[in-house]
Amino acid sequence: ARDWLEGRGLFVGLTLAIVLGVVTPFCSCSSIPLFIGFVAAGIPLSVTLTFLIASPLISEIAAIMIGEMFGWHIAAAYVGAGAAIAFVAGWALSRFRLDRWVDDVVFTTRVAVLRADGHVPSLRERVDAALGESRDILRSVWIWVVVGVGVGAVIHGWVPEDFFLRWAGPDNPLAVLVATLAGIPLYVNGAGVVPIAEALWAKGMSLGTVMAFIMSSIALSIPQAIMLRRVMRPPLLALFFAVVAAGILAIGLLFNVIA
């Protein structure tokens, strides 16, 4: 991945990161070990964060289900909108000096140490480092995964469907903002959120509001924030969530205008 992405220039690097994100079926939480590996491998942070956005946001399962339930033109618009959010967010994040807000543990992983001083590791060294680093990551984040998923599950099971219709219905001018914020606490993948969104759409919720809800549910979550805090310092974590949420909000408003 490093050889594929580094030295390509920002525009090409961001585009390739989006392509890599689209073809990898990772959720918002499973992308985080890859974030650690990418940073440790020396891939620029803006490119790495673009992948971290694109991989969960542009969900193959969600795209297929949206095509079946909403129409394939809407599925294509969903994929294009997700790619646009990832690209613009990556470009915006590239304007900041992000390294200072990444936890030191990312730069001292077994993979990073293995590559020190230009050393080219053997296959045996790579396997040993991968196994050891997997154990390190598991020990450091498993409790936060359990806590985060538990919180998301409680919220997902407690908040009724009527809540979204009441506060994000077609009569509320702030519906897209409400839907974007409401989707963040829910830890759910494309297969889980699209049927909910289709039911809300059938009951009168506007398309842009529905798309904002789908995207925020898939791309941003409490478990993701909890685990990212293990590798990101608060300024970068807040900036990451703010940029992605702003992109989702903009796409939702745009869909409402043109739909």
Among 163, 210, 165, 216, smallest CA distance to 56 is for 216
Residue 115 structure tokens: 């590559």
Q: Is the pLDDT of residue 159 over 60?
A: no
Among 86, 88, 31, smallest CA distance to 54 is for 86
Lowest mean pLDDT among 94-103, 140-149, 232-241: 140-149
Got the DSSP string for 170-183?
A: TT-TTHHHHHHHHH
The per-residue pLDDT for range 168-212, each reduced to its tens digit, is 777 777 888 888 888 877 767 777 788 888 888 887 888 999 999
* C-beta separation of 168 from 197 below 8 A: no
Number of domains in the chain: 1
Report how far residue 241's alpha carbon sits from residue 180's, in angstroms, rounded to the nearest whole number: 11
- What percent of the chain is modeled with pLDDT above 90? 24
Among 5, 85, 82, 84, smallest CA distance to 37 is for 5
* C-beta separation of 59 from 86 below 8 A: no
pLDDT score, position 234: 92
- What percent of the chain is modeled with pLDDT above 70? 81
Angle at 47 between CA 215 and CA 145, to 5 degrees: 55
Report how far residue 73's alpha carbon sits from residue 101's, in angstroms, rounded to the nearest whole number: 39
The per-residue pLDDT for range 117-129, each reduced to its tens digit, is 667 778 888 888 8
pLDDT score, position 72: 94
Q: Is the pLDDT of residue 213 over 70?
A: yes
Return phi, psi of residue 232, to 5°.
Answer: -120, 145
pLDDT score, position 66: 92
The per-residue pLDDT for range 217-259, each reduced to its tens digit, is 888 877 778 778 878 899 999 999 999 999 999 999 999 888 6
What domain range is 53 assigned to?
Answer: 2-258
pTM summary value: 0.79
**Of 74 and 229, more confident:** 74
Return phi, psi of residue 142, to 5°.
Answer: -60, -40
